[in-house]
Every structure is written in structure tokens, then in C-alpha cells.
Amino acid sequence: MKGLLIRVGIDSKCGHWNSPLDPKTGEFVFTPIPERHEFIPGLETKYESILPFLRPFAEKRHLNEFLDLGFPQNLRGMGMHLDPDFEFLTYGDDGERRGRGVAEMNEGDLIAFYAGLKPITPMRDKLMYALVGLYIVDKIGFAGEVDEDHWDENAHTRKMDINPFDVIVHAKPEFSGRLERAISIGEWRNNAYRVRNDLLDIWGGLSVKDGYITRSIVPPRFLNPEKFHAWFKDQRIGVIQKRHF
């Protein structure tokens, strides 16, 4: 088994916001990064579609999605790079550079997705770095091989200028999806967000120094994916095929 830990979701550098998290329940709203490319007509994914999920999340906690959670008004009309797409269980990446490790994966390998989420109540750390999804790979292909009827299933095939060498992951539905609640994995340590030391020991380590996960050009590899997967199953958190909430 091979395993990767991949950062996803909007943040202060890419989109200038962080998705909200209720640290008491682990509930969160997954919000993708902005889309830099033009969409194929009819395949647009807009930030406006987040609001029907963000609003009830806020109202349930007597908050306002704009005043309290700070959702940027300028995002409303913008397109988002909806990837991973937990509804279709796909994930796309650059198969030649950043996503080279993804392109080398096989059936049965795993990808754990994490994000920097903003707790709605004060905590020791400004952000909670947490797992938000898990894929067990079913098959790997390239964007240029995707039939037109399936272009709407991933962000890399919704754009006008499809790169035929972008890699597309399809995950096994019985084991994969968006997590029902986020799992905290990080802490601020040595001037960066890093995976907690206790988890590094349990997982068998990562390919990055001192569990660094603040931002990486190449996604960290699990040195012992089987140990990570055993730990994950012990968390007994369900996976769902839904995009946001």
C-alpha cells in the first residue's frame, strides 16, 4: 500500500478565508479553493452553492455566515475548483509535477485529505488542521482519457483548457468520501503547523521533517500507510458522498 496526505480547501493564501469548524462536534463545511481557469459552459461550480450549507451551519449555532463566520462577499460570484469532488469520489492533480506521486498510485492505495479549518470558538491554535476526507483508490486515469459525458465529475475536466496529462483518481465508494466530522491532527509547533507527535508515532511517520503540514509543494507520504489506515478505522468516523455539509 502507498499513502499520501494531501492538503485541500480554501485558506488565507488561496481564497483568503478558512472554512468553519465546530470543535465540539467536529462538524465543518468543506470549501474548495478558487478556480483560476474558465469553465466549459454548463459545468460551472460557483461559491454561491456553498451558502445553502454554510447558512444552516451558522444558524444552528446562532451565528451569521457573513458577520460571524466572515464568508467573503466577493467570493459569491466566483468559480471554485471543486476538488476533491466527494459526490463523484474523484480527485485531480498535475500528474507531471506536484501530483506525480498521485499518478504512481494503484488500486487499494489511500489518500487522506486535510484542511486548515477555523474553529468557531477560541482555541489555543488559530486554526485546526484536520482530516476532512479519505479515499481508497479504485483506479487512476488521465484527464485526456475522460469521456465528455463524465467531464462534470472533476474540476480538472470542467475547465476549458483541459490538460490531458492531469491525473484523475476514482475512489472506492464503500470506503471513501467526505468525513462526517473532522479529525484534528495538527498543532502549532516550531513556528509551523505540524502533525502532532503522538500521531506521528502511531502512524509510523511521514516523509516530511517533523510532521510539517503548513504548506508543501509535494504532498507528504505515509511511511507506513497500513498503520495509518488501522488508526483511521479505529476512529470509527463515517464517510459520506457529499460535497459540503
pLDDT in tens, 24-40: 999 999 999 999 999 99
What residues contact 60, with CB distance under 8 A and at least 6 apart? none
**Domain annotation covers residue 77:** yes
Percent of the chain with pLDDT over 70: 100
Phi then psi for residue 160, to 5 deg, are: -60, -45
Is the pLDDT reported for residue 98 higher than 90?
Answer: no
Q: Say how many domains are in the chain.
A: 1
- Residue range(s) defining the domain that contains residue 85: 3-240
Alpha-carbon distance of 164 to 128, in angstroms, equals 35
Residues β-bridged to residue 188: 193
Alpha carbon of 113 to those of 10, 38, 40, 149, 177: distances in Å? 13, 25, 27, 27, 10
**Domain annotation covers residue 49:** yes
What residues contact 198, with CB distance under 8 A and at least 6 apart? none
Is the pLDDT reported for residue 132 higher than 90?
Answer: yes
7: Cα separation from own chain's centroid: 6
**Domain annotation covers residue 154:** yes
**Domain annotation covers residue 245:** no
pLDDT at 245: 63
Average pLDDT, the chain: 96
**Domain annotation covers residue 195:** yes
CB atoms within 10 A of CB 180: 14
Alpha carbon of 196 to those of 86, 113, 147, 226, 239: distances in Å? 26, 16, 42, 19, 23
Q: What is the mean pLDDT of residues 123-139?
A: 97
